[in-house]
């Protein structure tokens, strides 16, 4: 299955709109500021899914993704996270892509996340949802897709890499 078919240029962003919290030389970033930044990144992931035209309510999907992330992190390792949710807000399976070049620490025990691949599916669509998740994991483990995705300059290049690697 070619995963590139689930992406469109509207569902891809190469840098987040959210600004990381300011770091003052004299004090570290507050936990509250970091949590807010993490949630803003998850909301951006929801926005990318919404941009596909296959999500009914952006606000509800954002809340569901944030709550899902609070229960259990979507980090898969190596600087990659796959925020995912089965939701009534999803008309069909949908996927997005967000790169955060400087990385964001989502869990103190993990390395900073640079690649987010959000996914949403209707609650009854477990089979496709799990198949895509497995194919993403396999592609990242067996290829240099991560390195390629960290170096792209256009949304089209992201789609090309997905077309070449995740099939």
User: pLDDT (tens digit, 9 = 90+) per residue, 71-114?
Assistant: 988 888 889 999 999 999 999 999 999 999 988 887 766 789 99
Q: What is residue 63's predicted lDDT score, i.e. its pLDDT?
A: 97
Q: What is residue 26's predicted lDDT score, i.e. its pLDDT?
A: 44
Domains defined along the chain, listed by start: 3-165 (3.40.930.10)
* Residue at token pair 């919404």: 50
Q: What is the DSSP letter of 55?
A: B
The string of pLDDT tens digits covering residues 24-42 is 544 566 677 778 888 999 9
Give the whole-angstrom CA distance, residue 84 versus residue 65.
7
Question: Quick check: 124 pLDDT over 80?
Answer: yes
Beta strands 113-116; 75-77: pairing state: unpaired
Query: Dihedral, CA atoms, 119, 82, 112, 27, nearest 10 degrees?
Result: 60
Q: How far is CA 60 from CA 89, 139, 143, in A?
A: 7, 31, 35
Q: Do you know the residue count of the chain?
A: 167
pTM above 0.85, yes or no: yes
């Amino acid at each position: 299955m070619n995963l590139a078919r689930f992406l469109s240029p509207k569902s891809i962003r190469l840098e987040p709109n959210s600004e990381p919290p300011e770091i003052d030389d004299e004090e570290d970033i507050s936990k509250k500021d970091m949590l807010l930044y993490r949630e803003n990144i998850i909301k951006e992931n929801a926005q990318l899914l919404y941009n596909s035209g296959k999500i009914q309510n952006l606000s509800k999907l954002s809340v569901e993704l944030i709550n899902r992330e609070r229960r259990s992190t979507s980090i898969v390792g190596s600087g990659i996270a796959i925020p995912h949710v089965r939701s009534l807000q999803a008309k069909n399976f949908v996927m997005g892509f967000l790169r955060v070049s400087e990385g964001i620490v989502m869990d103190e025990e993990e390395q900073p996340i640079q690649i987010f691949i959000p996914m949403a599916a209707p609650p009854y669509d477990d089979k496709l949802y799990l198949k895509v998740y497995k194919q993403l994991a396999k592609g990242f483990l067996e290829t240099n897709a991560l390195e390629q995705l960290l170096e792209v300059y256009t949304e089209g290049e992201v789609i090309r890499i997905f077309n070449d690697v995740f099939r």
